[in-house]
Amino acid sequence: MTITHPQGFRAAGSAVGLKPSGRPDLTVVVNDGPSDAVSAVYTSNRCKANPVLWSEAAGADGRARAVVLNSGGANCYTGDFGYETSRLTAERAAQLLDTRPEDVLVCSTGLIGVGGQDFRDRIVGGLADLVAAAGGEAQHGEESAQAIMTTDTVPKTVTRTAEAPVAGGSSGEYRLGGMAKGAGMLAPGLATMLVVLTTDADLPADVLDRALRTATGQSFDRLDTDGCMSTNDTVIVMASGASGATPDEESFTALLTDACLDLMRQLHVDAEGAHHDIAITTSGAASTDEAVAVSRSVARSNLFKAAIFGEDPNWGRVVAQVGTTDAQFDPARIDVTINGVRVCTDSTPDEDPETVVFTREVTVEIDLKAGDAAATVWTSDLTHDYVEENSAYST
Amino acid sequence: MTITHPQGFRAAGSAVGLKPSGRPDLTVVVNDGPSDAVSAVYTSNRCKANPVLWSEAAGADGRARAVVLNSGGANCYTGDFGYETSRLTAERAAQLLDTRPEDVLVCSTGLIGVGGQDFRDRIVGGLADLVAAAGGEAQHGEESAQAIMTTDTVPKTVTRTAEAPVAGGSSGEYRLGGMAKGAGMLAPGLATMLVVLTTDADLPADVLDRALRTATGQSFDRLDTDGCMSTNDTVIVMASGASGATPDEESFTALLTDACLDLMRQLHVDAEGAHHDIAITTSGAASTDEAVAVSRSVARSNLFKAAIFGEDPNWGRVVAQVGTTDAQFDPARIDVTINGVRVCTDSTPDEDPETVVFTREVTVEIDLKAGDAAATVWTSDLTHDYVEENSAYST
C-alpha cells in the first residue's frame, strides 16, 4: 500500500517502452473524490521542464482528479513540441476519466532533451490500458512507485494513519500515503525528485497548500546532496475527503511533515554514489534561516564532502564554510563536533580528530553561540562513484 | 626575474623546516623605495587566518616595506597564539630591516590548524639569515616563487615592462613583476592563493588600490575551480617608485590586469586534479555582473563538471544552471555552444553533441540574448583525482 492506502484513490503502473530496460515507466494516480483538492510545489529553477509548466498552470485552481507520471524521459528543453506533449497527455487522460484536461497534472523524469514523437506516442497511446487497469489494491500502489523510478535502487513509499473529527462530532480515522523517486539532486540528467502524496482527509486546497509548504520546507528542501537544482522537481498532495475526517491544520501539517521526512530519508540513503549519509546540524543560530544557511554552506563544500569520503574529520573545512555565510556569529567562537567528538572549540583545535570513529552515518554539529535556533541539512559525501556515475551516464 | 624585475626590490627564499620535504618554505620581499606604497586584497571569508588579520590592519595605511611569506602551515584557526606569531614575525622582520612592525605584511599557506610553537620558532628564528641573503639578482626572485609553493607543480611568475612619463617631461621605462602560488580553490587545506606583485612605478597607494581591485576583479575573482572560499587568500601590490616613471592610472591598471590574468592562467592550468581547463563565457547579458553570475553558476555545478570530465557535452546541465540565477533572460531563448558546436538553440537541441571534439581546453559559450555584456569564468572539471587528492591529503 502506498498512494492507494487512503480511501478514494486508484492507481496503476505499466511499461510502455520509454525505458530501454523494459521496466515500468508510466503511472496514473486517480482521485475519485468526493473532493478534488490539490496542492503542489515545483522546482524553483527558472528553466523548467514542460510538464512542470503544464502542471503549474493546470493545478493553480487547487483542483485535480489525476496525475500522470512517466520515467524514461524528462521532456525538458524540448520546446513547444514538448509542452504540447504534456498537454496531449493530460487531454487523453481527461477523456478517459471523464474530466477536464486542466484537472490532470503531468510529471516526467529521466534525461533532459528526451521528449520526441516516440515519447509522446508511447505515453498517449498507453493511457487507455493504464486507466482501465487502475485499482485500489495494494499491488497498484507498488506498481506506481516502481514506474517512477530512474536510477533509484528501491521504490520509496510511506503510509500513515491518524484520528480526526468527522461530521457529527465523533472521531474517525484518516490516512496518508506517498511515493517518491530520486536521489536528492544526485541523479544524473537532473530530472530527479518526484513525490505524490495522497490523503482521504477532507481538507480544502489552501490548507493543503500551507501544510505542503511547511512539510517540504522542513524535509525535501533540506536535502542537498550535490547543490544542483533540478528542472522537473514536483511534490503533489491530493485530498479525496473520502474518510469524512477533517483533521485540524496543525496536526495534519505535522503528519504530512513526518511522512515527507520519512520519504526524504529514503531518498538520502539511496543517493547515487554516496558512501556516507551526512547530517549537518547548526545550533546557537540567531534564526532558523541562518541555521539552514550555515548547514547548507557546509553541505555544498566539495572539499568537506571529499574529506568525509576519506573519513578525514577536517573541521577546518567546516569553519571555512561557515565563514562564507552572512549568519550572525563571532568568527573566533565557533564549535564543531564530528560524530560526537568536539574537534574544534572557539575556532581552534580541541579533541584529537584521530579519535573520531566513522560509520555510514556522519553527524556534524556546529554551534554558533549567537542564538537559540537550530536546523539540520542532509547531504552525501563526494566520491569516486559520484564522479563516475555523473560523467558516464548519457554518453 | 620575477618580483625583483622592477628596481628597488630585494628578495630571498630559504628552507627553515616548515615543510617535511625540506623544500624552501620562507621568503621575504623587501621594498627599498624610495616609495613604500602598498595595496592588498584579502579573502572575503569571515573566518580569516591570523596572517590575514595582521596584514589587513598593518597595511591599512597604504604603506609597507616588506612582506614575509611562508608555506608549510596556514596559521589559520590557531587562536590568539597564532595571531601573536604573525605579529612576532612582523616585529622581527622590522627589527632586521630597521622599520616599524606595521610596515611588514605577513602571509601563510599550508594546512589549516598548523601554527604552533615550532612553526613560530622556525619562522622568527629564520628571518635574520633570510634578510641578510636578500638581493635583487634573478635567482632570488625564483627562490621566492619556489618558497611559497605548496601543492603547485611549478612556480608561477610574471614580468612586464612599459613606458611612462618621468619627472621633467621625458619618457622612461617602468617594470612590473609578480609571483603566485595556489591552484585556484582546489588546493587541499584551503590555504590557496598568495600573490605578490611589485612595480617600480611611482604611484600613490590609492591609485594602486583602485588598479588592484580592477585587476583582481577581472582575473583571480573569476577563477572558480571548486567554489570553495579560502581563509588565507592575499594579493599584494607594492610600488617602489625607483624608476621615477609615473604611468597614468588607466595604462597602469591595464598592465596590472594583464599580469594578473597571466598569473591566473598559470594557476588555472596547474589546478589539482583537473583534466580539463574550462572557460565559460556568457554573452548577451544585461550587465557584466549578470554575465559573471551566470558563468559562475555553471562553473559551480558538480553535474556539469563531472560531465566534462567524461567528455560529455551535456548542455542540459548548463541550461539548468542558468535557470538558478536571477539574471535577465527568457528561459526559452538560451543558446549554448560547446567547443564551437552549437548544441542548444533557444533552449532546445540543435547540432549533434556527438560532433563536439574534446581537448584539454574546453570552451562553453552561453548567449542570453538579453543585452550586450559578456564575461568569462574559468573552472576545472570534477575528476577522480580531485576526489582522491582532497580526501586523502591530511589523513
pLDDT tens sequence across B342-356:
999 999 999 999 999
Closest CA to B325 of B290, B376, B365: B290
Nearest CA in chain B to A81: B348
Nearest CA in chain B to A116: B349
What type of residue is B148?
I
Q: In angstroms, what separates the C-alpha of A169 from chain B's closest C-alpha?
A: 49
Average pLDDT over residues A130-159: 90
Q: What is the mean pLDDT of chain B?
A: 92
pLDDT in the model for residue A191: 44
**Residue B180 has what DSSP assignment?**
E
What is the tens place of the pLDDT at every residue in A38-53? 999 999 889 999 999 9
Cross-chain residue pair A46–B331, CB shorter than 8 Å: yes
The ipTM estimated for the assembled molecules is 0.88
Note which residues in 100-129 of chain A have CB less than 8 A from chain B. Answer: 111-113
**Which residues of A are less than 8 Å from B303 in CB distance?**
188, 190, 226, 228, 390
pLDDT in the model for residue A167: 81
C-alpha cell at A272: 547515487
Q: Which of A303, A320, A383 sits opposite B47 (nearest CB)?
A: A320
Please give the biggest Cα pair distance in chain A.
67
Q: What is the mean pLDDT of chain A?
A: 92
Cα–Cα distance measured from residue B144 to residue B27, given in angstroms and rounded to the nearest whole number: 5
What is the tens place of the pLDDT at every residue in B80-91? 999 999 999 999
**Residue A97 has what DSSP assignment?**
H
Closest CA to B388 of B309, B313, B311: B309
Q: In angstroms, what separates the C-alpha of B165 from chain A's closest C-alpha?
A: 43
Q: Does residue B56 belong to the interface with chain A, where contact is any CB pair within 8 Å?
A: no
What is the tens place of the pLDDT at every residue in B245-281? 999 999 999 999 999 999 999 999 988 789 999 999 9
Percent residues over pLDDT 90 in chain B: 79
Cross-chain residue pair B314–A347, CB shorter than 8 Å: no
What is the tens place of the pLDDT at every residue in A57-100? 999 999 999 999 999 999 999 999 999 999 999 999 999 999 99
Q: Does residue B229 belong to the interface with chain A, where contact is any CB pair within 8 Å?
A: yes
SS3 state at A11: strand
Report whether pLDDT(A253) > 70: yes
Please give the biggest Cα pair distance in chain B.
67
Cα–Cα distance measured from residue A46 to residue A142, given in angstroms and rounded to the nearest whole number: 33
pLDDT in the model for residue A170: 86
Average pLDDT over residues A136-164: 90
Cα–Cα distance measured from residue B65 to residue B20, given in angstroms and rounded to the nearest whole number: 30
pLDDT bucket at B331, cuts 50 / 70 / 90: very high
**Which residues of B are less than 8 Å from A117 in CB distance?**
none
| Mutation site for A-interface testing, chosen from B46, B294, B354 by largest number of A Cβ within 10 Å | B46
Percent residues over pLDDT 70 in chain B: 97
Give every CB contact of residue A3 below 8 A, 6+ residues apart in sequence: A9, A11, A29, A141, A144, A145, A157, A177, A178, A179, A196, A197, A198
Cα–Cα distance measured from residue B247 to residue B229, given in angstroms and rounded to the nearest whole number: 34
**Which residues of A are less than 8 Å from B113 in CB distance?**
316, 349
Cα–Cα distance measured from residue B194 to residue B109, given in angstroms and rounded to the nearest whole number: 8
Q: Does residue A228 belong to the interface with chain B, where contact is any CB pair within 8 Å?
A: yes
Q: Does residue A276 belong to the interface with chain B, where contact is any CB pair within 8 Å?
A: no
Nearest CA in chain B to A395: B312
Cross-chain residue pair A45–B347, CB shorter than 8 Å: no
- Specify the higher pLDDT residue, B241 or A170: B241
**Which residues of A are less than 8 Å from B348 in CB distance?**
77-79
SS3 state at B62: coil
Whole-model pTM: value is 0.90
Cross-chain residue pair A387–B391, CB shorter than 8 Å: no
Average pLDDT over residues B330-335: 96
Contact B274, B67 (CB under 8 A): no
Report whether pLDDT(B227) > 80: no
Active-site residue, from B2, B159, B192, B282: B192
Q: What angle do CA B58, B63, B64 make, to 5 degrees?
A: 75
Rounded to a whole number of angstroms, the distance between the first and last alpha carbons of chain B is 37
**Hey, which residues of A are catalytic here?**
192
Q: Is the dihedral of CA A378, A383, A389, A390 positive or negative?
A: positive
SS3 state at A323: coil
Nearest CA in chain B to A392: B310
| Mutation site for B-interface testing, chosen from A80, A119, A229, A303 by largest number of B Cβ within 10 Å | A303
pLDDT bucket at B187, cuts 50 / 70 / 90: very low
Nearest CA in chain A to B303: A390
